[in-house]
Chains A and B, each alone.
Chain A
Amino acid sequence: DTAVSQTPKYLVTQMGNDKSIKCEQNLGHDTMYWYKQDSKKFLKIMFSYNNKELIINETVPNRFSPKSPDKAHLNLHINSLELGDSAVYFCASSQAGGGGYNEQFFGPGTRLTVL
């Protein structure tokens, strides 16, 4: 069983379109994340979310919005896609709490190409 899954794995779309990437985890975790990996392989946090709070990296444009229908899902919606949004997007999850460390488990990534 896949612990953290993302769909689709590849997404090719035109500039200006609106698209969504889905993420599901079956680990029973209560915190989920979205990271963006650009063309130079640099990874940067976009959001972290649990049922209590959403923490947004200040550099993320408001065209990006996470939506969580339930604890096991955190989908990424992107409006008015731009060329610069082309990247690989990773979902991750972890168990919060305890004040210490809980490993983040990553999904396989979604490669988004904006034409």
Chain B
Amino acid sequence: AQTVTQSQPEMSVQEAETVTLSCTYDTSESNYYLFWYKQPPSRQMILVIRQEAYKQQNATENRFSVNFQKAAKSFSLKISDSQLGDTAMYFCAFMKPGSARQLTFGSGTQLTVLP
């Protein structure tokens, strides 16, 4: 079974600054997918970024980028130029390819962007 660990329950950052959220995972699979989801106070789950394990290049989506270290089983999210709208709970998630395609989530990091 896969496990996903987020060791930072809460973080804060000043507007316009950069913050990094940590995630580690444990799996015996060689091929899998990793995700960061954002859940603002509206409760809606929003996909922020994804990474395929077979790709060495780190994924980037505008102000969001990841640092994927496969050997270390680490998958951190960097948010640059933080905005007030980035305030949310962030979940790291793992998916094993296959018929189930179920997401395994970490416990989440509550990020607050301060004005």
CA distance in complex: A102, B13 (Å): 32
**What residues of chain B lie closer than 8 Å to A45, measured between beta carbons?**
102-104
Contact status A99-B102, CB under 8 Å: no
Report the bound CA distance from A43 to B97 in whole Å.
19
Residue pair A94, B101 in contact (C-beta under 8 Å): yes
Task: Knowing A41-B89, A88-B43 are in contact, say whether A100-B97 is a contact too (CB < 8 A).
Answer: yes
Counting contact residues on chain B (CB < 8 A from A), the size range is 20 to 34
Nearest chain B CB to A114 CB, angstrom units:
19
A41-B107, A101-B95 given as contacts; is B47 within 8 A of A31 (CB)? no
Residues of B within 8 A of A (CB): 33, 39, 42-45, 47, 50, 52, 89, 91, 95, 97, 99-105, 107-108
Residues of A within 8 A of B (CB): 31, 33, 35, 40-45, 48, 50, 52-53, 55, 57, 88, 90, 92, 94, 96, 99-104, 106, 108-109
